[in-house]
Amino acid sequence: MIEWGKFLGALAAGKWPEAWAMLPALPPWLGSLLILLFVLEILARMTNTAKALSILHWLSRWKRWHRQFSLPRVEEDCFAVIVARLEGDEDDSMRDVIMNSLYTVHDVKVYALERAISLRKGELNHDVIQAGHDQAQELMYKIGGHILLWGRLIKHDGRTAPILHFTTRKKLDGKAFKGQDYSLQEKQLDLPPVFQEELDNVIKFVIYQTLVKSVEQNKEIITDQFVQSVASVRAALQSSAPRWSAQERSNTLFMLAIALITVGEQRGENPPLLEALTLLEQAIAATDRQANPLQWAAIQNSLGHALQRLGEREGSAERLENAVTAYREALKERTRERVPLDWGKTQSNLGGVLRMLGDWEGSAERLMDAVTVCREALTELTRERVPFDWAMAQNNLGLALQTLGKREGSAGWLDEAVTAYREALEEYTLDRVPLDWAMTQNNLGNALAILGDREGSAERLEEAVTAYREALKERTRERVPLDWAEIQNNLGLALQRLGDREGSAEQLEDAVTAYREALKELTRERVPLNWAGTQNNLGLALQRLGDREGSAERLKEAVTACREALKELTRERVPLGWAMAQNNLGNALLTIGDREGGAERLKEAVTAYREALKEYTRERVPLDWAKTRINLGGALAALGELGKDAGRIREAIAMQEQSLALCQQAGADGFVEIVENALEKSRSRLERVTAGP
């Protein structure tokens, strides 16, 4: 059988012997037909009047017709320039010059569009040119790309020159790129420098505006198109052209970094944040602080943001300290007198990172600084002027108040936190900013859960569960995996506390399920401290279930989970987190020792509690100190009963009575009930020991 592609190709190229050699493979009737066509082709070449008989003429016409209806396939992860056929450029020679010029100067992808943008004949007025831009944009929506070059070829006084127009895929800030006469240089088939300069300006403008528009449109939910835009801009920036000035490059690096931070935050990925750090450092180096102080400060502010996010995920206090430094550097130029709103935003950001450091270090001073800074920010970020920024500052203030209230056992701080979150939700509504609304719902749930635990209020805990479940409707695993996992972890805590209060094994099982869901995203490699915190919470829930069910297997799982948590929650890194995990480990060991009736586990529990009390001091965290001493008293009382040591049990009871007095003084009604139950258990042990055989 004949290979039709090769045969037609040889025929179209005029390779007659090669085409003739293929004829024996044809059926006789088809061979005869082709011989007839061959004769007609020879006649057509001998006389112009027989052109209509030429098979090559019709093949050429068919090829051009087919090319007009075919569109190039543009790669989405690169910066692409498309060059259309020029009206009047019959052999495409001028387009070839343009494309060759682009190939040699720009490291961008260049594509040929096998059709022209057709304009009405006559004068090139504004309406005619705008109609051409509209045609070009319609094509770009189908094929992609960033810039489409089109126009027509003109001849005048023996000169040939293209009139070119640049069209962008999106209308960016209403900017129009007019046509210009670009005559070829006399001694070589090349376009003049003015063409390259104009194209440079267009490309730089499109790159920058693409980033600005993409960031604005994807603050809430990033799309695949946004990620592709980031990739294409990154590729263009890494190329040797266009020729950027230092300030142009700084501006574009800055916007690209903001885009990468958005990707990293929403997708829970650290590499985009790390790349953003590098770009921001380059942007700072490229920015003249004396000439552009506010731009320099804006980059410092974003550097602080990236460092804060990475520090939180990596469990790195060093990153957080660097974030504090970056924000304070920004505030040297972003002064209240010069730019009050920008000053307020940076103050709010600074409050957020100070709160995080205060939480990790157990530093009341840092937490008070965070509250002060956030309140200062709100003096400029008013609801009337900047409602969303006001809501963010209210949210940051709530976080600082909540952390302070939790550490100091103060219901007043916690109530203020709830008020701040509810204020924020007045502007952060579901229909306007769904992800910010969900974030604030989560934070509100945290404050309500702490209050519910402190007050022994099932109603507060139920409110917290509702808030978390509302948040999960928007902060889904697909959209924001790490945020989704954090909310799952918080939901588990609220369910666990409810299960403790109501004696419900079902709610404890739901808590375990929530923690295990969270751990699917909160991995040790990705977010070590969050992973460890969730492991710690899982251990506590398993200990509660094991105690209720009398399950040795559950209790062993609890010990394993707590010990896993301590691999990352070290005393040097997060002293209060380490103390919390030590306390929970002691709880699991105490329950096992009590059930097995062996001293070894009980002694391990005593050791764990005493370790916890090295950081859980009365001055620093009075309620946590009291709860841990209650647990330590329980372990000592159990050892006292095992060894028939009434003195040890009395020591334990005295310790627990002291803790009871502190809880009563603090008005922590939820904890008072727990202490009273523990005291009753210790007194029963004392009665059994002193009653004799």
- Per-residue pLDDT of 449-458, as tens digits, reads 999 988 889 9
Average pLDDT of the residues of the chain: 82
Residue 421 has pLDDT above 60, yes or no: yes
Interval 403-418 mean pLDDT? 91
Q: Is 503 helix (H, G, I), strand (E, B) or coil?
A: coil
Alpha helices, DSSP H, located in 519-574: 528-549, 552-565
Q: What is the pLDDT of residue 339?
A: 96
* Percentage of residues in the chain having pLDDT higher than 90: 52
Angstrom distance (rounded) from CA 641 to CA 637: 6
Q: Which pLDDT value is given to residue 179?
A: 43
Buried b (16+ CB within 10 A) or exposed e, 610-628: ebbbebbeeebbbbbbbbb
- Structure tokens given for 688: 């059994």
Q: How far apart are CA 178 and CA 163, in angstroms?
A: 9
pLDDT class of 173 with cuts at 50, 70, 90? very low
DSSP of 134-154? HHHHHHHHHH--SEEEEEEEE
Nearest to 456 by CA among 675, 669, 623: 669
Please determine, for residue 174, whether its predicted confidence score (pLDDT) is greater than 50: no
Element (H, E) at 402: helix 387-408
Longest dimension (CA), the chain: 132
pLDDT at 317 (0 to 100): 92
DSSP β-ladder status, 80-85 and 109-116: parallel
Please say whether the beta carbons of 672 and 661 come within 8 A. Answer: no
Return all residues near 3 (Cβ < 8 A) that are at least 6 apart.
22
Q: Give residue 99's identity as a one-letter amino acid code.
A: M
Do β-strands 159-168 and 180-181 pair in parallel, antiparallel, or remain unpaired? antiparallel
In 428-480, alpha helices (H): 434-455, 458-474
Q: What pLDDT shows up at residue 189?
A: 43
Q: Is 126 exposed, middle or buried (0-12, 13-18, 19+ CB in 10 A)?
A: exposed
Cis before residue 271, ω within 30 degrees of 0?
no
The DSSP output letter for 50 is: G
pLDDT tens by residue, 179-236: 444 444 444 444 555 455 555 555 555 555 555 555 555 454 555 555 666 666 666 6
